[in-house]
């Protein structure tokens, strides 16, 4: 099962679920597909030579071999006691395809390496590009990306380790704009089972001014 088929499966199943958050992500996903389609047409007109390979979600490390990976990453805390997290830190994850009856297909599940496992339940700060979803009705959560909208995971230009659900502790007067570079702090949650949320979730998130 390739990445595109996986995303299509999530889209179809999300419509069946009819939850507000899932619906928001579905709408966001569709918007991204439209945007990416336009970008692809423009790029194809300019680039006629070899095309870059499509990134794969599945790596060789499995849940059975993850314990063999040595943890050498050292995290730094700021003056407020929050770990200064980078997207490079979050690359320490692999993916293992497993069959799920819910989607009736094989999907890639995250296998977090030891350095990422240590982040579970920790207070962290991270900066990224905002992908707002409040326009679809969900005002308590946004998506933070390591990359701008045009090259984010939803456009097939990056892996799922480059995005994070930001669960805001409160609403903000000023709405976030697409590709705003924002720093958030909160409690890190790792998700390796719920297909309707991202692999990384920042709970109780607050804006760092």
| pTM for the whole structure | 0.70
Burial of 120 (0-12, 13-18, 19+ CB in 10 A): exposed
Residues 25, 160 contacting (CB under 8 angstroms): no
Element of type H or E holding 15:
helix 3-17
Q: State yes or no: pLDDT of 86 exceeds 80.
A: yes
Residues 166, 205 contacting (CB under 8 angstroms): yes
Average the pLDDT over 58-72 and give the result: 59
Average the pLDDT over 118-129 and give the result: 98
- In whole angstroms, what is the distance from residue 3 CA to residue 117 CA? 24
Residues contacting residue 88 through CB under 8 Å, at least 6 positions apart: none
Q: State yes or no: pLDDT of 58 exceeds 50.
A: no
pLDDT digits (tens, 9 = 90+) for 33-44: 445 545 544 544
């Amino acid at each position: 099962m390739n990445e595109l088929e996986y995303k299509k499966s999530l889209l179809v199943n999300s419509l069946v679920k009819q939850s507000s958050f899932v619906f928001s992500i579905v709408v966001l996903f569709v918007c991204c597909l439209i945007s990416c389609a336009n970008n692809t047409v423009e790029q194809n007109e300019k680039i006629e030579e070899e095309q870059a390979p499509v990134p794969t979600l599945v790596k060789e490390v499995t849940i059975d071999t993850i314990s063999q990976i040595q943890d050498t990453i050292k995290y730094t805390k700021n003056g407020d006691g929050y770990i200064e997290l980078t997207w490079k830190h979050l690359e320490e994850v692999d993916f293992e395809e497993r069959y799920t009856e819910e989607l009736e297909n094989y999907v890639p599940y995250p296998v977090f390496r030891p350095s990422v496992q240590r982040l579970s339940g920790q207070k962290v700060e991270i900066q990224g590009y905002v992908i707002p979803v409040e326009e679809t009705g969900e005002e308590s959560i946004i998506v933070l990306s390591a990359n701008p909208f045009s090259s984010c995971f939803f456009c097939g230009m990056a892996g799922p380790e480059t995005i994070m659900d930001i669960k805001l502790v409160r609403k903000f007067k000023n709405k976030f704009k697409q590709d705003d570079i924002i720093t958030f702090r909160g409690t890190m949650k790792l998700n390796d089972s719920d297909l309707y949320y991202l692999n990384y979730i920042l709970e109780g998130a607050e804006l760092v001014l």
